[in-house]
Amino acid sequence: MKITSRVLTGLTIAALSAAALAGAAAYQVAWKGALRDAHGGNTQANVRLADLPRSAGLYAVGPVAGLAGEITIVDGKLLVAEVEHGAIRTSSDFSKGAAFLVWASVPQWRDASAVGASIGSQAQLEAFVEAKAREAGLNVEQPFPFLLNGTFDSVKYHVVRPPQGGATHGSAASPADSALNAEATGKSATVVGFFSRNHEGVFTHSGSRAHLHVVLENGDSGHVDELRAGPDVQLALPRT
């Protein structure tokens, strides 16, 4: 299995993505920018979405440049969630940029396995995902994507937005302080996740091993803060 697992230097995103898609025998993971930098105030566009391949098998999560929304790509479909007039508005605007982004080209997924209603926190989910990945023979020292599909008892999520009153995101306050928070209960959804034991501050938060975005049946999407899986939720891991 070949995994692209370094910050991009000297390569265009388009070139790397094309190479990743060419390797149909393995999944690929790549990233650019860093969560710690974005939270410290460096929220410029480090990734142009227009440079990513618009093809099936692509999955991605990250914030919009300026921390002005959330980017989620599911099987090549782009969802850009932004806050407009106090509500979440989702579009497929490839002209946007990302402050940081982690993405994967996944030619094929393994058969899904039941998560079980006992999963009631992200920490429990991360432990479950890691255990299942080890059972499947994935190298858990390298990052990998995963999917959750089914009806969730609850999902708490947010969409970041620029601070009010002309303020800027910086180290003095968390970007989540200006986010629009939402909760879905008993809803069917897809969660796109990226697991890593070694990328805190890069594309996972401090103390966390997974970065999760949700896409709800009504089309809304955002960054997952908490979730509780329903009994029919299933986990899919990439085939190596």
- Which pLDDT belongs to residue 174? 52
pTM for the structure as a whole: 0.85
Residue 196 tokens, joined: 């890593």
Across the range 86-92, mean pLDDT stands at 95
- Which pLDDT belongs to residue 119? 86
The chain-wide mean pLDDT, for the chain, equals 87
139 phi/psi in degrees, rounded to 5: -80, 105
pLDDT in tens, 31-71: 999 999 999 999 999 999 999 988 899 999 999 999 999 99
Q: Distance (Å, rounded) from C-alpha 79 to C-alpha 130? A: 27
CB 159 within 8 A of CB 224: no
- Which pLDDT belongs to residue 176? 58
Q: Distance (Å, rounded) from C-alpha 49 to C-alpha 64? A: 10
The residue with greater pLDDT, 18 or 68, is: 68
What totals of helices (H) and strands (E) does the chain contain, helices first? Answer: 3, 14
- Which pLDDT belongs to residue 120? 84
Strand partners, 190: 149, 215
Whether the pLDDT of residue 17 is over 70: the answer is: no
Whether the pLDDT of residue 175 is over 60: the answer is: no
Q: Distance (Å, rounded) from C-alpha 82 to C-alpha 27? A: 29
- Which pLDDT belongs to residue 24? 45
Residue 63 tokens, joined: 């914030």
- Which pLDDT belongs to residue 23? 42
- Which pLDDT belongs to residue 208? 94
Q: Distance (Å, rounded) from C-alpha 216 to C-alpha 225? A: 14
Q: Distance (Å, rounded) from C-alpha 227 to C-alpha 189? A: 11
- Which pLDDT belongs to residue 14? 46
Residue 103 tokens, joined: 């993405």
Contacts of 186 (CB under 8 A, 6+ apart): 151, 152, 153, 154, 230
Residue length of the chain: 240
Whether the pLDDT of residue 165 is over 60: the answer is: no
- Which pLDDT belongs to residue 13? 46
The residue with greater pLDDT, 116 or 184, is: 184
Q: Distance (Å, rounded) from C-alpha 115 to C-alpha 148? A: 8
Across the range 76-82, mean pLDDT stands at 97
Across the range 102-118, mean pLDDT stands at 92
Measured CA distances, 229 to 89, 121, 215 (Å) = 25, 9, 14
Give the lowest-confidence range in 16-20, 92-96, 187-191, 198-202: 16-20
Q: Distance (Å, rounded) from C-alpha 222 to C-alpha 233? A: 19
Nearest to 227 by CA among 156, 147, 139: 156
Whether the pLDDT of residue 10 is over 90: the answer is: no
Residue 232 tokens, joined: 């029919």
Give the lowest-confidence range in 18-22, 51-55, 136-140: 18-22
218 phi/psi in degrees, rounded to 5: -85, 0
Whether the pLDDT of residue 173 is over 60: the answer is: no
Ordered by where they begin, the domains of the chain are 13-105 (3.30.1330.80), 113-236 (3.30.1330.80)
